[in-house]
Structure 1
Amino acid sequence: MSLQQKIDRITDILRRDDGISGAMHYTEQTSWVLFLKFLDDYELGKEDDAVLSGKDYQPVLDDEHRWAYWACPKTTDGKLDLARAKTGDDLTDYVNNQLFPYLKSFANAAATGADPKSFTYKIGAIFQYLDNKVASGHTLREVLDIADTLNFQSDDEMFELSQVYESLLQNMGDAGGYAGEYYTPRPVVRAIVKAINPQPLEKIYDAAAGSCGFLVEAFEYNKPTPFKKRTGRELTSEEYDFQRVDAYWGFEKTSLAYVMGMMNMILHGIESPNLFRGNTLTQNIRDIQEKDRYNVILANPPFGGKEKAQIQQNFPIQSNATELLFLQHFMKTLKSSGKAAIVLPEGVLFQTNSAFKQVKQELLENFNLHTILSLPAGVFLPYSGVKTNVLFFERSGGTSDVWYYECEPEQKLTKNKPITDEHLKEFVELYNSRETTERSWTVSARKLAEDYDLAAKNPAKQKDTEHLAPSDILKEIRTKEKLVSGLLDEIENLLAEH
């Protein structure tokens, strides 16, 4: 049975449970089981490394709460010890009343000064927002037995699992509603990361992290193997350590998204995600200093929401539109010479009322807004049909001109026909050269500053309405008049016959 088949089997089993309702639940419950199996393999690996180096390793979990003791205890011949393996009500009682309270207690350690980069801190941060929703202990027994066959000490299996986990998160997004709020289609994420080209020692930030798709994709882009193919060299030890521990930063407001994002990063190989739960917009951006800023910002902030006046006071240009507040936050948190790519709804580009105009004026005058990618409608279906754009800007002086690229698939995007890597391939290829094509064009910042309407208006489409000479216009009018006159005569004759 392949790893994908094992995970599919787990989700099928969970769907039958009375405590599970929908993709959000079975993804959440699969996640905590996978995480605890991963943690056990991780600690076994650390113990083996310690033995080889002659050092001691103190496991994070005590013996009683480690996977090999409670989840799948083994006999001497390596088979499941049926005498010690709990099931039914005994398993449910243990998980709900002993295991989860124990894991949640790590949150107290996190609150009282544990190293934020330690696994103790991460476990506490994750499990304070999780509960076991699997109603049947027999169902959970089946799930544990399958999870036990996974090997997180295998690089190949870890890589495959990271891909499978992404598909679970996508299923949550496809389910629509709440889950779709924090899942950005991976072809869009991949195209943005390739265009931005993040470097191994750059700090990368997403203030609306969701399931951390941008951060994970940036890590995948910079990981040793892809990195070697891209540049012809391996990561240095400094770069490798920075990637695993210090490179990726984010905030997420909702507890479920925070848990999914944290696990997504860990299961992809980011050992110490710098992800924090909280509403980014409660920060007063006037207090942000250069030390608080990031080299690269990649984000798809929530749009369509409204913020209270108290939150708006944290921003020099006040608005109740969350997307406009997030854009100000990103502008303020970008380091000097830093790069940003932000997904925003079309409305931000064309609205020119006071707040929108002021923010866009600052963006054009104090940042280099060099590229706008116009995405087709339907990218975020079924969660939202709103048309969106990606703004690429740098903190490197004002804007001279903006290169637009209009992504326009031949077929309308739907839930079953989503955007693909092929749709965005040409954009990635042209990003650095900024060529003019039927889908791309350049507009001067001076022209845009006339009304601060930044919406994409493809001049190639306007060629279809060529201006005719006055004499040709008169000929067309006379031709149409003759057609209309002839039709009127026919109608008049028909009426006369009756």
Structure 2
Amino acid sequence: MQNKINKITDILRRDDGISGAMHYSEQISWILFLKFLDDYEEELKLEAILDAKNYKSILEEKFSWKAWAAPKTNEGKLDVKNALSGSDLLSFVNNELFPYLKSFKDNENFKSIEYKIGGIFEFIDNRIANGHTLREVINLVDELSFSKESDVFALGEVYEKLLKDMGSDGGNSGEFYTPRPLIKAIVEVINPKAKERIYDPACGSCGFLVESFLHILYEDRTKNKKANLSVEELEFLQNEALFGKEKTPLSYAMGVMNMILHEVKSPNIIKTNTLNKKITDITQSERYEVILANPPFGGKEKEQIQNNFPVKSNATELLFLQHILKSLNNNGRCAIIVPEGVLFQNSNAFISVKKDLLENFNLECVLSLPSGVFLPYSAVKTNVLFFSKGKSCICSDDDKVYYYELIPPFKLTKNKPLEYAHFKEFLKCYKERKITANSWLVSKKEFEERNYDLSAKNPNLKEEKILRTSEEILNSLEENLKTQQEYLNELKSILK
């Protein structure tokens, strides 16, 4: 499957309407989604026949994949005579198909697949400028099948690669992608379970939600071995467990698609600015057992938004942290990625929120990430805060915070990114709070004494004086003598 997607990518790069990974990923996505939807409908039709029930198709016949994208002959081959191409195909897609799919947003049933289709296509348009290129891509996608679980699993992996390509593009496309090794490690620590509700208030392409879904669904993903979930637990996982909010239109569309392509039948994703809601209005039904988030940071919010929070600040990261603290259920647990500044900032607003975190929640672990985790679109150094509310859920010692400094064996760059293997020691150490050269404990009383500065300053590291080699010393002396001679010659010429 990956080889075909690579081939499609190469084809799209030649199209005049496509500019960069963001565009080709977006365009492959909507075509893949419609093929997946067609295979999904075939399964639903088969189930209806087995149950002796009538089945009503999601899409009208004219707009089904088999009608416009890949009509077949009796031999099962592409019906070239009836398959649209060139300007005819572009005209149908742009003037009929997309307006039809966008109209689904008027559906009032939030949980229905129809509503999700409308949500996706409301913010996506066809950018492929050449109808023959579009036909070439459609033919390749039609060769893919999503009728088996293994096919769908492979599709999910391919889609994650597309999202990664968008993130690697830099710029604004960074909002689509949190490195999957980091997400996987965080989810492993938090360990979401069946029948728990999981929430991401800035879900982007839904990486945390998809990883949580797979974490619960599979006992061993490498062997494709499913966990022993009851029918009730599986239904809850697919329809009632996963919640997210996303402000950016394209991120929202890609996120919903990501979840559906991973077989989350009813992703509860809302397109909204999470910070628009007053946190005093958050009800018990809007509190969750698990919260996982990498909220946007570095942004500035207007006073109108700031008024929704008891501690006013124009820093988005501080507003999101307050929202998350209010949205965490009793005995719930959370992991949030924050910029380094949140730890050491000493303004009244930052101190107040950190004091609330330490006094009313169990801050259990601070994972200090290396610089370069979010390259190329951000060089900001970040940390992960792991905490719980009420009964401690992650580790046992409530009086001390466990710090771990992640140090990869090489400097992270765009071409040498973070790997899951880099978390191996951390994942072993955090439960036992094992003290190593990269980990240490800090008492909560100490935080009070240093005015709630949570900075990750490793006390195990001793400053080493770097001694120069004899060759370096000689080179330096030679350079100094050369400079002195130049000055001497210049002085002589002046005195003549």
TM over 0.5: yes
The DSSP-based 3-state class of the residue aligned with 2:79 is coil
Partner of residue 328, structure 1: 322
**Alignment partner of 1:262 out of 253, 256, 259:** 256
Partner of residue 89, structure 1: 87
Partner of residue 210, structure 1: 204
Cα drift, residue 464 of structure 1 = 6.1
Residue 461 of structure 1 pairs with residue 466 of structure 2: no
User: Do the aligned residues in 2 keep the contact of 1:227 with 1:235 (CA within 8 Å)?
Assistant: no
User: Structure 1: 5+ residue runs without aligned partners?
Assistant: 466-490
Partner of residue 283, structure 2: 289
Partner of residue 15, structure 1: 13
Partner of residue 172, structure 2: 178
> 1:351 corresponds to which letter in structure 2?
Q
**Whole-angstrom CA distance in 2 between matches of 1:244 and 1:118:** 13
> 1:133 corresponds to which letter in structure 2?
R
**Whole-angstrom CA distance in 2 between matches of 1:389 and 1:46:** 44
Partner of residue 479, structure 2: none
TM-score normalised by the chain length of structure 2: 0.90
Partner of residue 400, structure 1: 399
Cα drift, residue 314 of structure 1 = 0.5
Partner of residue 487, structure 1: none
> 1:50 corresponds to which letter in structure 2?
A
Cα drift, residue 226 of structure 1 = 3.0
How many correspondences in the alignment? 463
**Alignment partner of 2:159 out of 140, 159, 165:** 165
The DSSP-based 3-state class of the residue aligned with 1:202 is coil
String of CA shifts for 1:69-102, please: whole Å, max 9, x gaps: 0101001111111111000000000001111111
What is the correspondence of 1:37-56 to structure 2 with a 5 Å cutoff?
A: 37-56=35-54
Residue 368 of structure 1 pairs with residue 362 of structure 2: yes
Cα drift, residue 232 of structure 1 = 9.7
**Whole-angstrom CA distance in 2 between matches of 1:230 and 1:156:** 8
**Whole-angstrom CA distance in 2 between matches of 1:441 and 1:231:** 37
Going from structure 1 to structure 2, the CA distance change for 1:228 and 1:7 (only over 3 Å counts) comes to: closer
User: Do the aligned residues in 1 keep the contact of 2:218 with 2:225 (CA within 8 Å)?
Assistant: no
User: Do the aligned residues in 1 keep the contact of 2:175 with 2:251 (CA within 8 Å)?
Assistant: no
Partner of residue 468, structure 1: none
RMSD: 2.0
Cα drift, residue 430 of structure 1 = 1.3
Going from structure 1 to structure 2, the CA distance change for 1:229 and 1:394 (only over 3 Å counts) comes to: farther
Cα drift, residue 181 of structure 1 = 2.1
**Whole-angstrom CA distance in 1 between matches of 2:54 and 2:222:** 34
Going from structure 1 to structure 2, the CA distance change for 1:231 and 1:416 (only over 3 Å counts) comes to: closer
> 1:51 corresponds to which letter in structure 2?
I
String of CA shifts for 1:463-490, please: whole Å, max 9, x gaps: 869xxxxxxxxxxxxxxxxxxxxxxxxx
> 1:429 corresponds to which letter in structure 2?
K
The DSSP-based 3-state class of the residue aligned with 1:382 is coil
Identity rate, percent:
56
Cα drift, residue 454 of structure 1 = 0.1
Cα drift, residue 238 of structure 1 = 0.9
Partner of residue 470, structure 2: none
**Alignment partner of 1:245 out of 219, 224, 239:** 239
**Whole-angstrom CA distance in 2 between matches of 1:225 and 1:231:** 6
**Whole-angstrom CA distance in 1 between matches of 2:412 and 2:319:** 29
TM-score normalised by the chain length of structure 1: 0.90
**Whole-angstrom CA distance in 1 between matches of 2:405 and 2:136:** 49
Cα drift, residue 410 of structure 1 = 2.8
> 2:203 corresponds to which letter in structure 1?
A
Going from structure 1 to structure 2, the CA distance change for 1:397 and 1:359 (only over 3 Å counts) comes to: farther
Cα drift, residue 240 of structure 1 = 0.8
Cα drift, residue 231 of structure 1 = 11
> 2:455 corresponds to which letter in structure 1?
A
User: Do the aligned residues in 1 keep the contact of 2:163 with 2:176 (CA within 8 Å)?
Assistant: no
